[in-house]
Structure 1
């Protein structure tokens, strides 16, 4: 009897793990109608931008189309996390921040796994940080450090090969908050 229970539990955990990966990868998952509509709403946007409490501004939820409608940028570089030369396409972080009408303060950038970094808005203008949504001509999945990854032109200057820059190279970016 205990063997049957452990087999059932193992199967349940396998399904839950697969379903989590499937949702992160944008694959269909057999769930209830209510769960499907919630998942569809969650998958519509890639990036949430939060203003501080009392700012009298609503959160902004951006889709891939929203990001692609901003000025396009890109470069080729190697990274310490991938093999060979990579081509990244996206929007400069400074252009995204300007689009969101933020000119001062500190941003908290958060990943799907809750990894957090902070950047002062004033230093973003010279940071060469790219919010990449394409790598080597394809959208990135969560398994490929996407769907959004802050990358820098690491090969263009030794200043982009520092621990600070590597720590700011946040992948699976899903939320930016303006702190007070």
Structure 2
């Protein structure tokens, strides 16, 4: 058998011709002192979904955001309403969010905006969304700082 060397660009071109195996990649990690779990987009979409139609300081018009309730995820991990959640974005921006917000309001981990997945460029794949149009008290800078986009991790300590 005769072997030939492939240049880097030829090898890259070859790899692009291979079929995609669709391996699901974890996009969210939730960790507490007792446990940690990671979720793929598919797993987040399989959870019961809530739609919040709202606008905020970062969108020009009301949009329909869809995703699992943050409260449901916190309950799964037995995270108390008195806990603080460290929300960490892909760019390492972080915001401390009281878990009570999730129990007092329908805060969602939005994975769809107007029925479409959100790219990193468009604040995805996960954007923490508050129902601001339903609760005028949420239209405040304190809550705007909790609208973490490109969310990658929720850490509870």
Q: TM-score scaled to structure 2, two decimals?
A: 0.79
Structure 2 counterparts to residues 75-90 of structure 1, below 5 A: 75-90=52-67
Distance 1:143 1:157 in 2: 28
How far the C-alpha of 1:176 sits from its partner, in A, is 0.6
Does the 8 Å CA contact 1:70/1:95 hold for their aligned counterparts?
no
Question: Match for residue 140 of structure 1?
Answer: 118
Distance 1:139 1:73 in 2: 15
Q: TM-score scaled to structure 1, two decimals?
A: 0.70
For the residue of structure 1 that corresponds to 2:111, the secondary structure is strand
Distance 1:73 1:164 in 2: 23
Please list every run of 5 or more consecutive structure 1 residues that lacks an aligned counterpart in the other structure.
Answer: 1-29, 34-39
Q: 1:161 aligns with which of 139, 142, 151?
A: 139
Does the 8 Å CA contact 2:55/2:62 hold for their aligned counterparts?
yes
Distance 1:140 1:98 in 2: 26
Distance 1:73 1:96 in 2: 13
CA RMSD of aligned residues (A): 2.0
Structure with the bigger percentage of helix:
1
Does the 8 Å CA contact 2:50/2:69 hold for their aligned counterparts?
yes
Structure 2 counterparts to residues 103-142 of structure 1, below 5 A: 103=80, 104-142=82-120
Question: Match for residue 72 of structure 1?
Answer: 49
How far the C-alpha of 1:107 sits from its partner, in A, is 1.4
How far the C-alpha of 1:95 sits from its partner, in A, is 0.9
Does the 8 Å CA contact 2:105/2:131 hold for their aligned counterparts?
no
How far the C-alpha of 1:119 sits from its partner, in A, is 2.1
Please list every run of 5 or more consecutive structure 2 residues that lacks an aligned counterpart in the other structure.
Answer: 1-11, 16-21
- The answer to whether the aligner puts 1:92 opposite 2:73 as a matched pair is no
Distance 2:97 2:52 in 1: 22
How far the C-alpha of 1:78 sits from its partner, in A, is 1.8
How far the C-alpha of 1:125 sits from its partner, in A, is 0.2
